[in-house]
Amino acid sequence: MRGALQAEETAEIPLAWLDITLEDSSHLYVVNNAEELTRNGNVHLPYDFGITPPDEIKEQIPIVELRIANADQIILQSLVIQGDPIPLTLALALASTPDTDEISVDLKISAVTWTDQEIGGELTLDDAMLENYPGWNVTPGNHPSAT
In tens, the pLDDT along 78-116 reads 777 777 788 999 999 988 999 999 889 899 988 888 888
Find out whether 31 and 89 touch, Cβ atoms under 8 Å: no
Model confidence, pTM: 0.74
CA 121 to CA 29: how far, in whole Å? 17
User: N- to C-terminal Cα distance for the chain?
Assistant: 52
Flag whether pLDDT at 143 surpasses 70.
no
What is each CA distance from 141 to 78, 137, 138, 145, 147, in whole angstroms? 47, 10, 8, 10, 9
In tens, the pLDDT along 12-68 reads 888 999 999 888 888 999 999 999 999 999 999 999 999 888 777 777 777 789 999
Domains and CATH numbers, the chain: 13-126 (2.30.110)
Find out whether 59 and 46 touch, Cβ atoms under 8 Å: no
- What's the distance, CA 114 to chain centroid? 17
